[in-house]
Amino acid sequence: MSKTKLAVIFYSTYGTNHQMAEIAAEAARAAGAEVRLLRVTETAPQAVVDGQDAWKAQAEKTSDIPEVSHDDLLWADAYLFSAPTRYGSAPSQLRAFIDTLGGLWSQGKLANKAVSAMTSASTAHGGQEATILGLYTTFMHWGAVIVAPGYTDAEIFKTGNPYGYSHTQGAPFDESVRKVIGHQAARLVDMAGKIAG
């Protein structure tokens, strides 16, 4: 039996979602998946990025991580998206990439793929659930199979989010957080295997 192929796709301005994606990728590998860690192309003008030290540092830190392409989505059996909340929605950088996928979608090439999402915001009620649910609406249009974590692990009761892990900016990446992200990634790998089965 071949390994489940998982694309962990992230956009991260200051590093939170990059860290979440790294934790998820590690957990997915431990669950037996072949993983590609991929970043979404930055669409903000370089002058804007360079004007904020933390943003510029994060861009430099992740410059060696491949940018996600259509070929990656064709390759993968499953997708895990991680991106911050921007005014209750996914950031424009991720939406811009999604907007290029019409050709794949119209051919049914995104259908029947297992998919899940994670996000972050600066406050606990800063739009995390709206961001994840908005992404899930897009995935429903693809015909993808949404694999939310639900309350399928006791640790999730500590985060209070059955839709997908959401991180509040500045909170520590403690053992509980790692368990919740790891559980979501492992569940996605397991369900993708069953779908492909």
Q: At 4, give phi and psi (nearest 5°).
A: -65, 135
First and final CA of the chain: distance in angstroms? 9
110-149 tens-digit pLDDT: 999 999 999 999 998 899 999 999 999 999 999 999 999 9
Q: Taking a C-beta distance cutoff of 8 angstroms, is the pair 62, 12 a contact?
A: yes
pTM of the model: 0.97
Reduced 3-state DSSP string for 121-138: ECCCCCCHHHHHHHHHHH
Least confident of 31-40, 120-129, 136-145, 183-192: 120-129
Note the Cα 47 to chain centre separation in Å: 26
Percent of the chain with pLDDT over 70: 99
The candidate with the shortest Cα–Cα distance to 42, out of 70, 20, 75, 65, is 65
User: What's residue 139's pLDDT?
Assistant: 98
| Cβ atoms within 10 Å, residue 132 | 26
Domain count within the chain: 1
**Lookup: tokens for 165:** 């892990």
User: Could you give the CA distance from residue 13 to residue 93 in angstroms, rounded to a whole number?
Assistant: 10
Domain containing 151: what range?
5-196
User: What's residue 1's pLDDT?
Assistant: 58
Residue 160 confidence (pLDDT) above 90 = no
Domain holding 126: CATH number?
3.40.50.360
